[in-house]
Amino acid sequence: MSSSGFLINDPKYAFLKELGLAESNKGVFNGKWFANGEVVTSVCPANKRPIAQVQQGTVEDLDSCIKAGQEAWQVWADMPAPARGEIVRQIGEALREKLEPLGKLVALEMGKIKPEGIGEVQEYVDICDFAVGLSRMVGGSVLPSERIGHVLLENWNPLGVVGVITAFNFPVAVYGWNSAIAMVCGDTLLWKGAPSTPLVSVATTKIVASVLEKNKLPGAVSTLCCGGADIGECIAKDERVPLVSFTGSTKVGKQVALMVQERFGRHLLELGGNNAIIVDEDADPEMVVRAALFACVGTAGQRCTTTRRLILHETLYDTVVDRLVKAYGSFMPRIGDPLEDGVLYGPMHSQQGVDGYLTTIEEAQALGGKVLFGGKVLDRDGYYVEPTIITGLPHNSPVVQRETFAPIVYVLKCTSVDEGIKWNNEVKQGLSSSLFTQNLANVFKWLGPKGSDCGIININIPTNGAEIGGAFGGEKHTGGGRESGSDSWKQYMRRSTCTINYTKNLPLAQGIKFE
């Protein structure tokens, strides 16, 4: 391929070189950059033009990363947690310095709009700030012992090398959630990003590596091995990787979980979500429409928390549907190049996403669904499709019950909040959910044991756009993992119960006599 054909050589994309990227890049880092695998070309989904190339890693390259990560752990685990927190603080500062160029790269390579790309890097910055505080707070418990002269403790220690396999739709933030927390906990990192966003993986790793190098620490505290399914499978099966964090589809996540469990490793799964907004009869229709617009079409429907089902009380159904269709119509002029100011909707990430979109719409129509808005591929460069609203399907229709990773929302009519809750909970996934209501009784019903069965339960906000302070994750086929804030740090450490006898006596628990 001619050098002139790569976007990295176009002055319009000069920010790529600010990130240390070149026309050809090595995709493996274990303290040094190298690679021995296939050379892949990263393609911009907005125009289908090549951005730059990355040489992926081989299974042998992966092995060298794991070995280097184990060696680096010997140094990293000995550092006091607040000292590790200081390194993570510096990583946050380094990310702040590259906030705009890295955010633009996310927009260019993934396809989300520039504000979302920059916001994703900001998430990594924010979780670094959170992790710095955590580095002085991670602690165990002192528990009452039933025996005289004994102390009962809970102690937490790092696991070792943590494998992180991330998806194309959040190529920076999800790694940030894992890496910042795992690092302050004393773990080293092994990252395999999505095969279609390798430049983001390389650029992000360069930022982290620069901080480690400046502090004279092993670069292998944070290793990278770009590659495909073969690399992911090896990570899942390798006993030297005690925890594997996987973000992706439910289908692949199940395979990863079985491989990790077969060797009695730990897995942290962030999988699909067939998310719903329920609208009570006393909700504000204007607020619902504004929230639904972002929830349904933001990131071109490619968030795991995107709203797939809009469950409307029958008294508001016509009003909300009419206003939502008008909002979609007003939104169409904001479709465009994700890097341009004012654009609110970019392309699908790949042809695979477009194909899934078209197949699902065809199936929905065959089942009796009516396309009220959208339903077509846009006639322009790139992988652009129309945001789509479908009505007329029952809540238990197979296509409604299945997550499609595209900007398609099914609008359903319910007779009560109780019925809406039942429909919310009947799908296999349990990631995010939201209820729009002014009824306090319904608020607490929604939050309670017979309410939403999701890991994220919102009220009067969309299903997407989670903050980093809370634990992120879901139930059922979403995988049960928790990342980011709250006490998610516990996933990255091992807990020991310790009993200390500071006397000369040896009393047994439960008053047992063995004399």
Distance CA 100, CA 120 (A): 11
Burial category of 140 from C-beta neighbours within 10 Å (exposed 0-12, middle 13-18, buried 19 and up): middle
- Tens of pLDDT along 416-458? 999 999 999 999 999 999 999 999 999 999 999 999 999 999 9
Q: What is the rounded average pLDDT of the residues 253-274?
A: 98
Residue listed under structure tokens 């993570």: 88
Q: Contact, 311 vs 276, CB < 8 A?
A: yes
User: Which of 14, 208, 197 is CA-nearest to residue 106?
Assistant: 197
Q: What is the rounded average pLDDT of the residues 140-156?
A: 96
Three-state helix/strand/coil letters over 183-219? HHHCCEEEEECCCCCHHHHHHHHHHHHHHHHHCCCCH
Is the pTM higher than 0.75? The answer reads: yes
Over 50: is that where the pLDDT of 491 sits? yes
- Tens of pLDDT along 273-312? 999 999 999 999 999 999 999 999 999 999 999 999 999 9
Which pLDDT value is given to residue 1? 44
What are the residues whose beta carbons fall under 8 Å from the beta carbon of 76, sequence distance 6 or more?
A: 84, 183, 186, 187, 188, 217, 218, 221
Burial category of 223 from C-beta neighbours within 10 Å (exposed 0-12, middle 13-18, buried 19 and up): buried
- CA torsion sign, 93 to 94 to 100 to 104? negative
- Residue 34, helix vs strand vs coil: strand
**Angle, alpha carbons 121-198-162 (nearest 5°):** 75
- Tens of pLDDT along 327-370? 999 999 999 999 999 999 999 999 999 999 999 999 999 999 99
pLDDT-derived band of residue 147, with 50, 70 and 90 as boundaries? very high
Q: What is the rounded average pLDDT of the residues 111-127?
A: 98
pLDDT-derived band of residue 4, with 50, 70 and 90 as boundaries? low
- Residue 477, helix vs strand vs coil: coil
- Rounded mean pLDDT of the chain? 97
Q: What is the rounded average pLDDT of the residues 153-160?
A: 97
Q: Where are the alpha helices (DSSP H) in 224-348?
A: 229-237, 250-262, 285-297, 317-331
Burial category of 97 from C-beta neighbours within 10 Å (exposed 0-12, middle 13-18, buried 19 and up): exposed
User: Which of 231, 132, 249, 134 is CA-nearest to residue 191?
Assistant: 231
Over 90: is that where the pLDDT of 493 sits? yes
pLDDT-derived band of residue 139, with 50, 70 and 90 as boundaries? confident
Least confident range of 92-96, 137-141, 304-308, 314-318: 137-141
- Tens of pLDDT along 387-427? 999 999 999 999 999 999 999 999 999 999 999 999 999 99
Which pLDDT value is given to residue 515? 87
340 phi and psi, to 5 degrees?
A: -85, 140
- Tens of pLDDT along 184-218? 999 999 999 999 999 999 999 999 999 999 999 99
Q: How far are the Cα atoms of 264, 283, 300, 338 from residue 383, in angstroms, in the given order?
A: 41, 36, 10, 12
Over 70: is that where the pLDDT of 2 sits? no
- Tens of pLDDT along 49-70? 999 999 999 999 999 999 999 9
Distance CA 120, CA 206 (A): 17
- What are the residue numbers of the active site? 270
Over 60: is that where the pLDDT of 146 sits? yes
Distance CA 300, CA 385 (A): 8
Q: Contact, 374 vs 387, CB < 8 A?
A: yes
